[in-house]
């Protein structure tokens, strides 16, 4: 009897040990699978970035994401104020951008038709490298009468859904009191407020526009701050007080040539912390011109020709292109007294975290350095 009990308890202990060891083996197996999945994700990301990296200037380590390019504008089809001056050269524009290190571009939209057009353009010219926004620009608010606002927001929501991964932001939306002739303050306010709801429903960040609103834009941001996650006030041209009001709301600040026109602009941009800055061109607008205070700090010059003497190898005079983002970076670096690579890195990483959060999370602390490594093929991604 005693022997039977002993045998029984020995069997039970054996069974428990077997059970425990199989649990340990399963846990180890699952842990390994998890590590393998993580390793695969990183190597996939590295391969993607290698394919995105500019090939023509391998010594240039700087990479950019242009967060604002109006590439649906007719000038990229060669039409200026309704007149055809040359053939479409969008392909050449995009190739120049790639050569300058622009690995991703956000094509901005300000109306529903533009949003559809922008998403189609991204799909056609750069799936995986070109992304778009969906929203109503403040100056186009008059096209959305109050009685149609709810229905219009539903249609914008449908456009976001239809765009899938191409659509990465709600916007551009906001307030513009410099151009009230297109839409009055009373027309702009409800359309802007309704787009906070769109960000709330979709979880997308906001691509924001603010011009000369005397603090009203900042007030609306404050009042609706709980309704959205991240947002960038693009093409920033405000005062130091405006800047600090937006930074207090944890917004990012988009800088382009228009943000750098005057000595006062430069003094304000100098105060933008690197962990809040993004770079953009707002192409075809907002290029850096010789008359601007910023021009003295530009290193890179492109060959430029008048549209009447159009050449696919040159930029068109007065038409800003995404490749010019490198000039914006150079100016910001000089006025802040830091290396241009540090400005490029900060802006790139901020942009990845806001507009591509899932990818950024898989790419570790500095997606920029992972992408630079991919280009030079010198550093292997972290092993765990
Ligand atoms: Zn704008």
Task: Let me know the angle formed at the C-alpha of 40 by 38 and 45, rounded to the nearest 5 degrees.
Answer: 95
Cα of 174 from ligand 1 centre, angstroms: 9
Cα of 361 from ligand 1 centre, angstroms: 28
pLDDT of residue 376: 46
Topology (CATH level 3) of domain 63-373: TIM Barrel (3.20.20)
pLDDT digits (tens, 9 = 90+) for 256-304: 999 999 999 999 999 999 999 999 999 999 999 999 999 999 999 999 9
Domain ranges of the chain: 1-46, 63-373
- Note residues around ion ligand 1 (Cβ under 5 angstroms): 209, 235
Cα of 255 from ligand 1 centre, angstroms: 11
Q: Establish how many alpha carbons lie within 13 A of residue 97's alpha carbon, considering only the half-sphere containing its beta carbon.
A: 29
pLDDT of residue 383: 28
Q: Report whether 378 contacts 276 (CB < 8 A).
A: no
Cα of 180 from ligand 1 centre, angstroms: 14
pLDDT digits (tens, 9 = 90+) for 309-344: 999 999 999 999 999 999 999 999 999 999 999 999
For residue 56, is it left (φ>0), alpha (ψ between -120 and 50) or beta?
alpha
Q: How far apart are CA 170 and CA 199, in angstroms?
A: 6
With 0-12 / 13-18 / 19 or more C-beta atoms within 10 angstroms meaning exposed / middle / buried, residue 21 is exposed
Cα of 21 from ligand 1 centre, angstroms: 62
Q: Which residue is it, tokens 């039977």?
A: 4
For strands 130-134 and 167-176, give the pairing: parallel
pLDDT of residue 126: 86
pLDDT of residue 61: 72
pLDDT of residue 112: 97
Cα of 374 from ligand 1 centre, angstroms: 33
Cβ neighbour number for residue 215 with a 10 Å cutoff: 12
pLDDT of residue 217: 97
Query: How many residues are given for the chain?
Result: 384
Cα of 176 from ligand 1 centre, angstroms: 9
The H or E element that residue 206 is part of is strand 206-211
pLDDT of residue 38: 59
Cα of 234 from ligand 1 centre, angstroms: 6
Cα of 192 from ligand 1 centre, angstroms: 13
The H or E element that residue 102 is part of is strand 102-107
Cα of 208 from ligand 1 centre, angstroms: 7
Cα of 41 from ligand 1 centre, angstroms: 35
Q: Which residues of the chain have pLDDT under 50?
A: 1-6, 8, 25, 48-59, 376-384
Cα of 254 from ligand 1 centre, angstroms: 10
Reported pTM:
0.83
Give the sheet arrangement for strand 102-107, strand by strand. 64-69, 102-107, 130-134, 167-176, 206-211, 231-234, 252-255, 277-279
Cα of 159 from ligand 1 centre, angstroms: 20
Cα of 172 from ligand 1 centre, angstroms: 7
Q: Establish how many alpha carbons lie within 13 A of residue 39's alpha carbon, considering only the half-sphere containing its beta carbon.
A: 9
pLDDT of residue 52: 44
């Amino acid at each position: 009897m005693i022997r039977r009990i002993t045998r029984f308890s020995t069997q039970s202990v054996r069974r428990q040990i077997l059970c425990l060891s199989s649990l340990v083996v399963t846990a180890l197996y699952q842990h390994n699978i998890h590590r393998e999945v993580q390793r695969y994700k990183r190597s996939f990301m590295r391969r993607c970035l290698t394919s995105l990296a500019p090939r023509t200037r391998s010594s240039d380590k700087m990479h950019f994401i242009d967060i604002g390019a109006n590439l649906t504008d007719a000038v990229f089809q060669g039409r200026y104020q309704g007149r055809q001056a040359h053939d479409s050269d969008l392909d050449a524009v995009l190739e120049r951008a790639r050569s300058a290190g622009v690995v991703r571009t956000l094509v901005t939209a300000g109306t529903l038709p533009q949003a559809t057009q922008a998403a189609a353009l991204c799909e056609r010219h750069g799936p995986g490298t070109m992304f778009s926004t969906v929203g109503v620009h403040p100056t186009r608010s008059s096209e959305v009468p109050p009685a149609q606002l709810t229905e219009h927001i539903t249609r914008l929501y449908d456009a976001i859904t239809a765009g899938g991964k191409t659509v990465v932001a709600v916007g551009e939306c906001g307030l513009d009191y410099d151009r009230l002739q297109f839409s009055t303050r009373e027309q702009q306010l409800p359309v802007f407020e309704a787009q906070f709801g769109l960000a709330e429903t979709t979880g997308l960040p906001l691509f924001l526009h603010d011009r000369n609103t005397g603090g009203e834009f900042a007030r609306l941001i404050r009042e609706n701050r709980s309704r959205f996650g991240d947002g960038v006030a693009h093409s920033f041209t405000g005062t130091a007080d405006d800047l600090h009001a937006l930074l207090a709301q944890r917004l990012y600040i988009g800088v382009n040539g228009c943000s750098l026109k005057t000595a006062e602009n430069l003094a304000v941009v100098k105060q933008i912390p690197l962990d809040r800055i993004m770079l953009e061109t707002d192409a075809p607008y907002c290029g850096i011109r010789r008359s601007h205070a910023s021009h003295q700090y530009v290193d890179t010059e492109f060959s430029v020709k008048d549209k009447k003497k159009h050449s696919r190898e040159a930029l068109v005079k007065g038409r800003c292109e995404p490749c010019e983002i490198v000039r914006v970076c150079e100016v910001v670096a000089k006025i802040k007294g830091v290396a241009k690579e540090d400005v490029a890195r900060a802006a790139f990483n901020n942009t990845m975290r806001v507009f591509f959060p899932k990818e950024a999370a898989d790419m570790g602390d500095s997606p920029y350095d992972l992408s630079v490594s991919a280009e030079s093929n010198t550093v292997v991604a972290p092993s765990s």
